[in-house]
Structure formats: C-alpha cells, structure tokens
Amino acid sequence: MMRGLALLMALAMLAGTQIARAEVTASTPENDFKAFRDFFTNKFPKVPLNDFVNGPYSMDEGLRKQWIAKEDFPPYDFALDHGKELFEKPFKNGKTFADCFPNKGIGIRQNYPYFDDKTNEVITLELAVNQCLEKNGEKPYNYMKDDMAAVTAYMAFTSRGKPFDIKIPKDNPKAVEAYEKGKQYFYQRRGQLNFSCASCHIQAPGERIRAEVLAPALGILNAMPIYRSEWGGMGTISRRFTSCNSQVRGVPLEPQAPEYRNLEYYLSYMANGLPVSGPGSRP
C-alpha cells in the first residue's frame, strides 16, 4: 500500500501535465477537449478510443478477462430490474418518471448533465430524478445508492451505445463559469494526501494503488452508476465523488453540491462522443 501511495505522491509532484501546458495557450472548452483527448490517446495509443469508457478494464488485460467473464451474469442485473420497476411505477398522483423527462426518460442519459438557463445551475440526472419525485409529492431518494442507483442504472441502460452530447452554451457566461469551476475542482489538491482528481486519473491511470487499478479520467463517468465489489452494491456518481474525497483524507461535500455537479459537467464534456456504457461494474 505504501509503495502505491509513494508512486502517486511522486507523480503528483510533477510540474504539470501535457494537458495543463496545452491549456496555457488558449483555455476554451473546445481547446481543453482536444488537449484532454490528445493526452490520453497519445499516452495509450493501443487503447481504442471508445474503450476508455471501460476504465481499468481498458488498462489491465487480466482484469479485462475477469470482467468479460463476469458480464455473462453482471452483478448490476438486480439494480436494472428494480430500477425499471421504480421507473414505471405510478406515483400517488398517477404520474410516473416518464412525465418528467424528454422522450419519456428513455435513451436520454447521454444528455446529462446540462446547464439550466433558468436556474443558472448544472442539472445532473440524479438531481433531475429527485426534482421529479419532489414535484410529484414523493420523497426524494438517497443520492448515493439504493433506489437512486437503480433508477439511474435503468435510464443509463436505455442509452447504452449513445455518445455523450454535453452542451456548454457559449452565449451564457454562467454555463462557461460552471464548466471552469468544474475543471478547477478536478485539478485542485485537497485532503491530507494533497491529491487532486488529476493526481490519480490523469497522472497515474493503469497504475495500482492498493489492489485497485486506477481508471483514466477520459470516459470515467460513462459507466456510471456502477457496482463495486468494495461497496458490495451499486453506487452513483455522487457516491464515487464523496468516496474519492474520503480516500485522499479530505472532507467530502454534500452529495450534489454545486462543486460536484460542476465537476460532473466538466468530466462529461470531456467524454463527448464516447458511448454510454452504464451501468457498469468495478473491482
């Protein structure tokens, strides 16, 4: 464990990454996107672009073989069944989730999160699910797991293969600001270990920390929500963000805090064009 931490600490001490250097010249979402994509395709030239959405399974051949075998009877199947049941079950007022979403909620995962011009905030799929529940007089779900993970797993499954299509309205400076804040959070160091998200997922993908193979940042949200063996169950993007903060011995924010939603906005934009692969499973 200490050897893995020492490796990450050494990588985190580097003066900067190719991405950071590229962004110095002209930092716009479009230029950031190109630099981000080029960094990973140059660093891992043998990994097919769309395969990055498979996280550690695109980095480690042994894990990949285990994953392929496990997909015959995926551990998230129970969540899909439960999520479909919840999605179609009428609320007390007779409406369902289908009444809250475009295309009745089917095949739309790739469009989340989006920036709401009316409220000037990032709306994630998890937030939209709870907004739907509250609008219809229902109790909101726990953002981390259980019913929320099940419903978003089902919605992701109906979008499998569809490319992420996240928009940053150029005519709305608040949207650009949310994107920039998400990028800042991604590279900002925090916690007693003084790590940023980039310390693991830009500088060390494919490396091991304890028994875990670190996933590349490119496409890291495409498989969400996921079943993790260490959790013994399903978890949402909110659960992943808060657990990462805890792992670097920092203080996690509240699930769906603006900082987390902005971070999701940034990472999802970086995944544009890559397919939805959720729900997924991880060690």
What tens digit of pLDDT does each residue of 70-96 get? 787 899 999 999 999 999 999 999 999
- Rounded to whole angstroms, the Cα distance separating 121 from 204 reads 31
Task: State mean pLDDT over 273-283.
Answer: 93
Confidence of residue 62 (pLDDT cuts 50, 70, 90): confident
Lowest mean pLDDT among 80-89, 112-121, 134-143, 248-257: 248-257
Contacts of 68 (CB under 8 A, 6+ apart): none
Question: Tokens at residue 152, please?
Answer: 């978003």
Residue 82 labeled ligand binder: no
User: What is the total residue count of the chain?
Assistant: 283
% of the chain with per-residue pLDDT over 90:
70
64 in a labelled binding site: no
For the cut 80, the answer to whether the pLDDT of residue 26 exceeds it is no
Secondary element (H or E) of residue 65: helix 61-70
The pLDDT confidence band at residue 69, using thresholds 50, 70 and 90, is confident
- Report the alpha-carbon distance of residue 24 to residue 196 in Å, rounded: 19
pTM of the model: 0.90
Q: What is the mean pLDDT of residues 195-216?
A: 85
Give the pLDDT mean for 23-48.
88
Higher pLDDT: 58 or 254? It is: 254
Q: Which of 244, 252, 253, 258 is catalytic?
A: 244
The pLDDT value recorded for residue 207 is 83
> Is residue 244 marked as binding?
yes
Q: Is the pLDDT of residue 110 over 60?
A: yes
25 catalytic? Reply is: no
184 has a pLDDT exceeding 80: yes
CA distances to 37, 88, 162, 169, 233 from 97, rounded to whole Å, are 35, 7, 21, 27, 24
Fold of 49-281: Cytochrome Bc1 Complex; Chain D, domain 2 (1.10.760)
What pLDDT sits at residue 85?
A: 98
The residue-averaged pLDDT of 143-167 equals: 98
**Is pLDDT at 8 greater than 80 in this prediction?**
no
The annotation status of 239 as a binding-site residue, yes or no, is: no
Q: How far is 251 from 240, CA to CA, in rounded Å? A: 14
Of 6-15, 23-32, 34-43, 131-140, which range is least confident? 6-15
**pLDDT at res. 11:** 44
pLDDT digits (tens, 9 = 90+) for 98-108: 999 999 999 99
